[in-house]
Amino acid sequence: MTKPSLPELLHAAVTAVGGTERPGQVTMAESVAEAIDDNSHLLVQAGTGTGKSLGYLVPALAHGMGTPSAEGWGRVVVATATLALQRQLVERDLPRTVEALHPLLRRRPEFAMLKGRSNYLCLHRLHEGMPQDEEEGLFDQFEAAAPTSKLGQDLLRLRDWSDDTETGDRDDLTPGVSDRAWSQVSVSSRECLGATKCAYGAECFAEMARERAKLAEVVVTNHALLAIDAIEGAPVLPQHEVLIVDEAHELVSRVTGVATGELTPGQVNRAVRRAAKLVNEKAADQLQTAAEGFERLMELALPGRLEEIPEDLGYALMALRDACRTVISAIGGTRDKSVQDEDAVRKQALASVESVHDVAERITNGSEWDVVWYERHEPRGGSSYRQAGASLRVAPMSVSGLLREKLFTERSVILTSATLKLGGDFNGVAASLGLGPEGSTGDDLPEWKGVDVGSPFDYPRQGILYVARHLARPARDGDRADMLDELTELIQAAGGRTLGLFSSMRAAQLAAEELRSRIPEFPILLQGEETLGELIKNFAADPRTCLFGTLSLWQGVDVPGPSCQLVVMDKIPFPRPDDPLMSARQKAVEEAGGNGFMAVAATHAALLMAQGAGRLVRASGDRGVVAVLDQRLATARYGSYLKASLPDFWYTTDRHQVRKSLAAIDAAARRAEAETGTASEA
């Protein structure tokens, strides 16, 4: 039988998912296949609507030859940043593609999802309860006939769910539960007893997921697990020949997050409580005294970077480090059979104490490549429960060297996103990944190729980029009455239909409060007042509704059609000048002779703006305006760099023209809505 061609395979897959073949998708699939065959590295920018998932899945599936070898030959790992894309790949794209390719490939490639251990229900924790700790008594609520607290209700639901679930994957639980409830039934890799020592090892959901991944040709995971695999040395992902990183614009941020250490008084006190039951009084007192000294300092901590560790903090951290070492040695020799489930108690105590020790030691060692700072938190409830107080944090100045060393060796790496070209080329993103300029060679510089396959959308005809050049230059945290006036008029012209992307939560809240009183006929939804999924659902359902928010809305909204015809950015989203990590990175670039502002702040803003602007056109029939209410995009020298990072919309600074255009788009949408309503009535 003749081996099927890549275009044949792609056609079969696209037909199976009900899609339409696009030239960019074909170009992408050919480029990915070439990179895999050559064992080379590839950066692919594939605009919204390209169908990039199939653009890499089809050549990846075609490449394998059955069950991967022990060395990982033939296996492909796909890492994504968001749960939504992981679910799309595993629940929709991969099943359909595998079935579509089966008649041509004469095989059904296996695929599997793999996440970090704490994402899976721990049967030992569920059935035996948490080792005695500050949460003692929570599991008593399982036995109550009608638990009154939300936590108790969540725990009962988790126990019922454990009898039905096949995966134990938290993301398969609908509706979800709070972080606090989930922590009662899950363990970190450090806390895990290990399959051979655990009474429930044979049924362990996390172990079953790892076994499925070992047999699969395609393993879908997340950026965080990819980072852990690279950073911690001990492999958590199965051996593989090809790595595909989707949503690759997020990779550096996710790897930085995994490589960031944190110490809080609550975390340290928890370690003290867990260890106290297992060690002699002298060791326990030493850790208690060190914890009290650290807590006193944290009560006085002011947010900001610590370019040098203050003497009192240095002494406190050394005391904490040394006390943790003593306790770790003592716990290692503990064997107290009077303690129920003693192994689990020891594992949990060791995990807590080792975590404190590692961060304290890392900060006291004082690497020039680390950034250390204090941060203060406001209390937060709901699923992301967090107590108020201060934390001490440490993060790498850069992860580019780590990625160059760990990511681009012994496998082909394909990175793809709708936003990889910033300022017109791939070099900025490539540098953050540890790669040199495209075409450069060197012993320690992996070679790579960049391909922009474009977008199926006609951006100059479908969208307008409007810059409100007449507005005053925005001041940091200042009142912007002229911006609110402009925003009000734009929303009125658009007939609602507005996604407001703000540079801070405070700005979003102020705008929502003001506009709710000015234009009550247009409902304003505000991030944080409801779950993100519910907000987006309500925004999509009513075209007159507006949605305001920050951060996740710049990247997490996919609402094609008339409900989103105006995307507003209140100002260019530069990092805050007092952001410890960003300012440290900028200073490091400047000290090395580079342009720190362009390399760090402008690149950060360009990436967010490109993602934000991408919320407007999600389908071939979409029309609308991206309005940037910051004159600097039109007047500053770096404005051309930022504009070159955005889709190629028709550009204007004419406020009257943009209002006319919005009104015309609104009128067309109303006519279409009226015709649809008439048709449905008929």
Q: Distance between CA atoms of 317 and 362, rounded to whole angstroms?
A: 10
C-alpha distance from residue 416 to each of 54, 413, 597, 654 (Å) = 12, 10, 25, 35
Give 461 or 140, the one with higher predicted confidence: 461
Cβ neighbours of residue 83 closer than 8 Å, sequence gap 6 or more: 171
Name the token pair of 234. Answer: 């001990």
416/567 Cα distance (integer angstroms): 24
pLDDT at 69: 55
The amino acid sitting at 653 is T
Instruction: Retrieve residue 380's tokens.
Output: 């937060």
- If you compute the radius of gyration of the chain from its CA atoms, what whole number of angstroms results? 27
Residue 296 has pLDDT above 90, yes or no: yes
Whether pLDDT at 374 is above 80: yes
- Residues 6 or more apart whose CB falls under 8 angstroms from that of 674 comprise none
Residue 514 is predicted with a pLDDT of: 96
Domains of the chain and CATH, by start:
6-110+216-254+400-452 (3.40.50.300), 120-200 (no CATH), 265-388 (1.20.58), 459-674 (3.40.50.300)
Going by pLDDT thresholds of 50, 70 and 90, the confidence category of residue 484 is very high
| Cβ-contact 60, 244 below 8 angstroms | yes
426: helix, strand or coil: coil
Q: Which two tokens stand for residue 118?
A: 């704490």
pLDDT at 551 over 90: no
Distance CA 625, CA 613 (A): 9
In the chain, % of residues over pLDDT 70: 91
pLDDT digits (tens, 9 = 90+) for 228-286: 988 877 788 999 999 999 999 999 999 999 999 999 999 999 999 989 988 999 999 99
Q: What is the pLDDT of residue 525?
A: 96
The yes-or-no verdict on residue 307 having pLDDT over 80 is: yes
- The whole-number average pLDDT for the span 71-80 is 82
> Looking at residues 637-649, what average pLDDT do you find?
96
Chain position carrying tokens 């760990």: 406
**168: its two tokens:** 């134990």
Backbone angles phi, psi at 262, to 5 degrees: -145, 140
- Single-letter amino acid code for the residue at 81: A
Residues 6 or more apart whose CB falls under 8 angstroms from that of 534 comprise none
Nearest 5°: phi and psi at 39? 55, 45
- Phi, psi (rounded to 5 degrees) for 187: -135, 155
Nearest 5 degrees, angle CA 83-CA 84-CA 86?
A: 60
pLDDT tens figures, 491-550: 999 999 999 999 999 999 999 999 999 999 999 999 989 888 889 999 999 999 999 999
Quick one: pLDDT at residue 116? 86
Say how far apart CA 306 and CA 297 lie, in whole Å: 14
Read off the pLDDT of each residue in 278-298 and give the average, rounded to a whole number: 94
Structure tokens at 216: 């699969």
What's the pTM?
A: 0.88
- C-alpha 395/C-alpha 582 separation (Å) is 11
What is the pLDDT averaged over residues 152-179? 87
Residue 36 has pLDDT above 70, yes or no: yes
Q: What's the mean pLDDT when you consider all of the chain?
A: 88
- pLDDT of 148 reads 62
CA distances from 407 to 180, 242, 250, 442 (A): 34, 11, 15, 17
Asked if residue 391 lies in contact with residue 221, where contact means CB atoms within 8 angstroms, the answer is no
Give 146's pLDDT tier (boundaries 50, 70, 90): very low
Model confidence pLDDT, tens digit, residues 5-22: 899 999 999 998 888 888
What pLDDT score was predicted for residue 84?
81
Who wins on pLDDT, 277 or 393? 393
In DSSP notation, 342-377 reads HHHHHHHHHHHHHHHHHHHHHHHHT-TTEEEEEEEE
Q: Band of the pLDDT at 187, cuts 50, 70, 90?
A: confident
Confidence of residue 385 (pLDDT cuts 50, 70, 90): very low
Residue of 385 and 316 predicted with greater confidence: 316
Residue 85: closest CA among 548, 528, 553, 417 = 417
| Band of residue 145 on the pLDDT scale cut at 50, 70, 90 | very low
Q: For residue range 577-626, what is the model confidence (pLDDT) as tens digits?
A: 889 999 999 999 999 999 999 999 999 999 999 999 999 999 999 999 99
DSSP letter string, 382-424: GGG-B-SEEEEEEEES-SHHHHHHHHSSSSEEEEEES---BTT
Write out the DSSP string of 619-670: STT--EEEEE--THHHHSTTHHHHHHTS---EEE--HHHHHHHHHHHHHHHH
Check residues 470 and 530 and name the one with the higher pLDDT: 470
Express as a percent the part of the chain with pLDDT over 90: 64
Q: What φ, ψ does residue 367 adopt, rounded to 5°?
A: -65, 135
Name residues whose C-beta falls within 8 Å of residue 375's C-beta, 6 or more positions apart in sequence.
303, 390, 391, 392, 393, 580
Q: What is the dihedral of CA 81, 87, 90, 93, to 10 degrees?
A: -90
Other CB atoms within 10 Å distance of the CB of residue 384: 9
Q: 142 pLDDT exceeds 70? A: no
Backbone angles phi, psi at 425, to 5 degrees: -145, 175
